[in-house]
Amino acid sequence: MFEASRQARQFSRGQTIEGTIVAIGPKVAFVDVGGKGEAEIDVEELKDVDGTFEMAVGDRIHARVVSTSGGIVLSRKGIRNAATQRELEEAFRAGLSVEGKVVQEVKGGYEVRIARERAFCPLSQIDIARTTEPAVHVGQVYAFRITEYKNDGKDVVVSRRKHLEEQQRARAEELRKSIVPGTVLTGRVVSVREFGAFVDLGGGIQGLLHVSEMGWSRVTNPNEIVATGGEITVKVLRVDEATQKISLGLKQLLDDPWSTTATTYHVGQMVSGRVSRVAQFGVFVELAPGIQGLIPLSETGLTQDVDIKKTFTVGAQIEVVVLEVDAAARRIRLSSRAVAPAKEADELRDFKERQGDSSSVSLGSLADKLRGALGKR
């Protein structure tokens, strides 16, 4: 019962779905609609006007969901085969779908047989996606919407595309309810622009993965991260109910490089990095992927009249000294003017360490060398 209830929540009342008949009982038939559960439909809806079964086990059918309470209950009313002109006309006026078989290709589309009646489906209306191989639809049984009904049923035009779009809207409505901030979804990249990528999340719903949310490092070319047609897993960051815009993130699913900055960097440490951006107030330096520090203008060692952009070029490798680390605020303050004093201090420390307890011997050696140098003059 729990599994049936969970399966039912995947569909909504009024939604048209497709399934396969797996068993026919005395009163109800069971339909496989995907997943672990099965749907039920009254066996009377599988019979024609004479009471003869027109569907059998293994047949594919289209039906509308009429209940999801405790399980899925289906009905073919409004989308079963129309056996008479009157039923065709009623389906047209009510905006209901009917089942039809694609008989053959004709000029500009297909001939569709609906019970004993003929209808025409334009090529552009056989599917949502553009049909590159028209022959693949011949012999298939689909659900169609009647778009034109003229001359007492002699001229009938149908559209499978409108039926599919109706299904897509129903799925999109259900899917949109589940898309909330924090949700992790898998989608398909439909286009890549300089500012980011649009991702199809299903049901025609798209979200924007902005270039700033693609990685912890600054991304300049989105095509290096994602590709059109590729599958990608993203996290929902924001959903604007007013505009229906969905903001997505990729870097949020990756390890945050700032989580280890407190142990990786410390005050007084001399490190190297790459100049990533130059502004009037200072220089941004990438120390590691996703980790940037700032050299304030006062720590560049330049005077006010010197052009900072000529001294620091983007992409150049430079050495800096860490002045401050604030991992919580994601801020590291650096200095380039402190590099020379830091190197001198390191050299002095190394010198003292080399001297150790034998400082007198070392000093004597230095004096000998000095006297030798003076004697040569």
* Residue where a domain stops, chosen among 53, 75, 97: 75
Q: At what angle do helices 359-376 and 339-355 cross, to 10 degrees?
A: 110
Number of domains the chain is built from? 4
- Distance in angstroms (rounded) separating the CA atoms of residues 149 and 234: 46
Tell whether 177 is covered by a domain.
Answer: no
Tell whether 176 is covered by a domain.
Answer: no
Q: Considering the entire predicted model, what is its pTM?
A: 0.46
**Do 249 and 190 share a structural domain?**
yes
Domain with 94 in it: 85-166
Environment class of residue 292 by beta-carbon count within 10 Å: exposed (0-12), middle (13-18) or buried (19+)? buried
Query: 298 is written with which tokens?
Result: 């006062």
Tell whether 272 is covered by a domain.
Answer: yes
Phi, psi of 4 (to 5 degrees): -65, -40
* Residue where a domain stops, chosen among 227, 253, 279: 253
pLDDT per residue over 9-25, tens digit each? 577 777 778 888 999 98
Tens of pLDDT along the chain (377 residues)? 444 444 445 777 777 788 889 999 888 999 998 766 789 998 888 886 667 787 888 888 878 888 887 788 888 765 544 446 677 777 788 788 888 899 999 999 999 998 778 899 999 999 987 777 889 999 998 989 999 988 877 889 999 999 888 877 777 777 888 889 999 999 999 999 999 999 998 877 899 999 999 988 778 889 988 998 899 999 999 998 888 899 999 988 888 788 877 788 989 899 999 998 899 899 999 998 888 899 999 898 888 778 888 889 998 999 999 999 988 888 999 999 888 888 887 777 777 777 765 544 444 444 454 444 334 43
* Residue where a domain stops, chosen among 57, 75, 93: 75
The separation between CA 96 and the C-alpha centre of its own chain, rounded to angstroms, equals: 34
DSSP, collapsed to helix, strand or coil, labels residue 283 as: strand
The separation between CA 76 and the C-alpha centre of its own chain, rounded to angstroms, equals: 35
pLDDT per residue over 43-95, tens digit each? 888 886 667 787 888 888 878 888 887 788 888 765 544 446 677 777 788 78
Q: Determine the pLDDT at residue 35.
A: 67
Tell whether 110 is covered by a domain.
Answer: yes
- Distance in angstroms (rounded) separating the CA atoms of residues 99 and 63: 10
DSSP, collapsed to helix, strand or coil, labels residue 30 as: strand
CATH number of the domain within which 270 lies:
2.40.50.140
Strand partners, 4: none
Q: Determine the pLDDT at residue 79.
A: 55
Q: Name residue, tokens 């779905």.
A: 17
Q: Are 42 and 27 in contact (CB under 8 A)?
A: yes
pLDDT per residue over 336-369, tens digit each? 988 888 888 777 777 777 776 554 444 444 445 4
